[in-house]
């Protein structure tokens, strides 16, 4: 039997970490696409400062959202599924009860 940490087997922790990292990468890719589109419109100091403010807000949001602590990871996964950054199939291998909770929470 595998060692568990906070009710998570080593295999589940690995699956969760991989899924988390993929979702983070997708979020960053989306941000980069939005920034590239915004850069074309930079013409004044004001538009540069607006881009700076936007990036500051996005950084805060992303750093707050992507917190890999097992005690709250089901909520994180539900949010990522709801936002389309993660698919439930990418969490295959997690305990059925955990998957059911993620799926249920992602509907709200």
CB 39 within 8 A of CB 51: yes
| CA-based max dimension of the chain | 62
Apex 15 CA angle, 8 and 98, nearest 5? 50
pLDDT in tens, the chain (108 residues): 565 777 999 999 999 999 999 999 999 999 999 999 999 889 999 999 999 999 999 999 999 999 999 999 999 999 999 999 999 999 999 999 999 999 999 998
Residue bearing tokens 């983070």: 24
For the chain, the domains span 9-106
Instruction: Answer yes or no: pTM beyond 0.85.
Output: yes
């Amino acid at each position: 039997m595998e060692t568990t940490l906070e009710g998570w087997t080593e295999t589940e922790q690995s699956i969760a970490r991989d899924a988390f990292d993929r979702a983070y990468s997708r979020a960053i890719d989306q941000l980069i696409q939005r920034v590239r589109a915004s850069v074309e419109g930079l013409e004044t100091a004001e538009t540069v400062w607006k881009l700076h403010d936007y990036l500051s807000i996005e950084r805060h949001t992303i750093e707050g959202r992507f917190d890999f602590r097992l005690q709250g990871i089901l909520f994180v996964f539900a949010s990522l599924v709801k936002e389309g950054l993660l698919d439930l199939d990418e969490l295959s291998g997690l305990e059925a009860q955990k998957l059911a909770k993620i799926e249920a929470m992602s509907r709200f």
